[in-house]
Amino acid sequence: MGWRRGKLSRFAVSVLSLVRPRTWVFAAWTFLFAYCMAGEVVLWRALLGVLVCSLTTGVTNLFNAYTDREEDAVNQPIRARQLGEVGLENIVKITIGLYGLVLLLSSLLGTLFFALSLAAVLDSLFYSMPPFRLKRHWLTGMLSFTGVVSFSFAAGWTLAQPITMLPPVFLLASYFFFAYFSFKNIPDYLGDSRFGVKTLMTTHQSYEKGIRISFLLLGSPYALLAALVLLGFLDAAYLACFSVLPALIYIGYATTTARDTARMERLHTYGFLYGVSFLMLLYFVAVPNLVSLALIASAYAFLFIVMKLNVLDSRREVVVGPPAALSR
């Protein structure tokens, strides 16, 4: 009996690790802030929307792990082991069940919310699933990845306002997340190169050049932000988002000097926290009140808990290739 409980416990931990709870913050809190921007918040609708956004992100991570198992045998060996612990057949069953649950819960929030959720589910599937596999090319992969924020924002906004009235913050948040995708592929350079995956890093066939292009793109949202302010679409208060630019510069410099994948993975985590911080600051400027502060505090508290429990993320700091493989 104890052996069975231990096996069940490992199974549950592996599934939770594969759905990667820390990544839920982008979609769930984007939804919440968009809902707050749009108007009066109804608590049960807010909680249900957060659940839908979190489940959609989680099942996307699970399905992506399933379809990327060959690359992850090199990039993320811990993730590959966890897939084996759960079993590929069980992964398929859980994935189908979670996608179905997302659509069922979405139907309770109205026709437009359901339509946006369906579009997000299809985007999630096409991102990883052959023959579409949008992530196969860096541009289609980045456009698909942007849906994490753009669909969540639109879903929150349309609970109180028409979709035709989306604010300029939607454009900035969506483009920021489009550029943020560049972080994702940096520590996966070795495995992606080996399996011919065309990311922004591997397309340039040089680690050093890939880093330069990636960080130029990562800095481009600040140009869009400045343009939106200069053109009068955003208030000057939004320039406060420039306060996190030094963090991006530091991560960029540190990435150019990283010599092994464990260091690159740690910098990926710093990049993740940078991405969360930019969006939280952007949303606070859009809705500057105590409720926003409470939401931001809850986001960081959630991250602190799930990141402290390192077993709840299949992405770990592990050296998966010799340092020489990353030499300039």
Long-range Cβ contacts of 182-186 (<8 Å, 24+ apart): 182/142, 182/214, 182/215, 182/217, 182/218, 183/214, 183/218, 183/268, 183/271, 183/272, 183/275, 184/145, 184/268, 185/138, 185/214, 186/210, 186/211, 186/214, 186/255, 186/264, 186/267, 186/268, 186/271
Q: Report if residue 15 sits inside a domain.
A: no
Residue 323 pLDDT > 50: no
CB 307 within 8 A of CB 23: no
Query: Which pLDDT score is estimated for 311?
Result: 61
Rounded Cα distance, 162 and 166, in Å: 8
State whether residue 137 is helix, strand or coil.
strand
Average pLDDT, the chain: 88
Of 7-21, 108-122, 132-146, 295-309, where does the model show the most confidence?
Answer: 108-122
Q: Report if residue 161 sits inside a domain.
A: yes
Q: Report if residue 75 sits inside a domain.
A: yes
Q: Report if residue 3 sits inside a domain.
A: no
Q: Report if residue 9 sits inside a domain.
A: no
Q: Report if residue 6 sits inside a domain.
A: no
The pLDDT tens digits of the residues spanning 66-79 come to: 998 877 777 777 88
- Domain range for 107: 21-318
The pLDDT tens digits of the residues spanning 103-118 come to: 999 999 999 999 999 9
Rounded Cα distance, 153 and 170, in Å: 7
Query: Which pLDDT score is estimated for 209?
Result: 83
Q: Report if residue 5 sits inside a domain.
A: no
The pLDDT tens digits of the residues spanning 237-267 come to: 999 999 999 999 999 999 888 777 778 888 8
Rounded Cα distance, 314 and 312, in Å: 7
């600051």: which residue's tokens?
A: 281
Q: What's the full length of the chain, in residues?
A: 328
Q: Report if residue 10 sits inside a domain.
A: no
The pLDDT tens digits of the residues spanning 283-300 come to: 999 999 999 999 999 999
Total count of domains within the chain: 1
As a whole-number percent, the residues of the chain with pLDDT over 90 amount to 61
- Tell me 41's DSSP state: P
Query: Which pLDDT score is estimated for 328?
Result: 42
Weakest-pLDDT range from 22-36, 65-79, 181-195, 271-285: 181-195
